Amino acid sequence: MAVAPAAFAADPTPSSSGSPSPSASASPSATPPATMSTVGGELLGKPGTQANLGSEAPVLPKDISARSWIVADAESGEVLAAHNAHWRLAPASTLKMLFADTLLPKFNKDEKHKVLSSDLAGVGSGSSMVGIKEDETYTVHDLWLGVFLRSGNDAVHVLSAMNGGVKQTVADMNAHAEELQALDTHAVSPDGYDAKGQVSSAYDLTLIARSGLQKKDFREYCSTVRAKFPGETKKGKNGKKTRSSFEIQNTNRLLTGDSGLDAYQGIAGVKNGNTTHAGATFTGVAERDGRVLLVTVMHPEKDEHNQVYKETASLFDWGFKAAGKATPVGELVPPKGADTDTSGDAESSAQPGATASASASGGAGGKAVAADAAEGSGGIGVALGITGGVLVLLAGGGYLVNRKWPGRKDRGASA
């Protein structure tokens, strides 16, 4: 998680893509703007809680203090309920989902890179780090483990350097956000470190997570509990060089559990964050009884330990009970260039370096908690059942993320 000492208002210049005006940006006030984007549906552009529960759906949890949140079906894209879904707020390290979704296809996971001092230039003071050392060599796989598990800003900056630098990477991220129709999002730093004008929304982070989960490696990394990471090369008395490794653990507490907080049954990622300006942010994906939900929570007002995870778990619980009973209030729109024709076989979406299947051991010493099921009709199967606290393959079940995006329903969506 990126940590920065200063807070500042987020007030980006609107793009020509139809992003909201600067008046819709985050500020020290906890009052949402009166007018927000209506991407995904008119109701999602209104401040306050949007839900259509009817007589059979359970009531929403009363202990939610977040400034913004959303509960959506990961497969159909239906938004079951939301609160200030398009409020543009500082995203913290949840922005790393956009970084990963943008850059993962660009590098083979076995590619090696020797770190230069310039690669680590510009890492913000107080940043979360995985422990990358100058003049050491790492694989791309190592670097992505550092990004996803330890939220390492040092790993982000090294991958950015491999992509032509921070400026180029941020430009790529913003272009990808526009392609995804994540129009509330404006990246300034690649790692989510607090920066003036850097914003996203619960709606956008959910869109980004849904896109990332189409990628096999993204699913593997975001669901890995712990892994071995290369340490520093040392020379012994005999002059022989040795390099040991150390264990890193995922900072997603719904995945690992924590004092006073159990791991959430069915959880399989995605990304957490916390900065001075953003507060705590989190996007999670979980499966129960064959249904997969995405939940994003931004900036709980309650200042309690693990509050963002507690509120996320409450919304997951509600969503699983309400699914099929609550009338959707909007939808997660597909990318601009998406093929929404669900007929026929889907083309492979594996990126360079993706393995044929996610290793149950996480590869390179990692312990993954999600395994790939057999590919279904037009989709990718990801099993999310729990046995002994570790997600394992479920025969006949799974999380189908369509490679060809589900057909878009007319809910009055506009930019």
Which residue numbers are catalytic?
93, 96, 151
Reduced to 3 states (helix: H, G, I; strand: E, B; else coil), residue 318 is helix
CA distance 146 to 71: 28
Strands (E) across 212-256 are located at 224-235, 241-249
Write out the two tokens for 306. 């693990």
CA distance 128 to 274: 10
Q: How many CB atoms lie within 10 A of CB 125?
A: 9
Asked if 223 contacts 244 with a C-beta cutoff of 8 angstroms, the reply is no
β-pair partners for 48: none
CA distance 332 to 204: 9
Q: State CA 135 to chain mean position distance.
A: 30
CA distance 412 to 45: 11
> What are the distances in angstroms from CA 335 to CA 125, 218, 271, 340?
35, 18, 21, 10
Write out the two tokens for 33. 């703007």
Interaxial angle between packed helices 96-103 and 153-162, expressed in degrees from 0 to 180 and rounded to the nearest 10: 30
**DSSP assignment string, 128-162:** ------TT-EEEHHHHHHHHHHH--HHHHHHHHHH
Write the CB contacts of 354 (distance below 8 Å, at least 6 apart in sequence).
109, 215, 216, 217
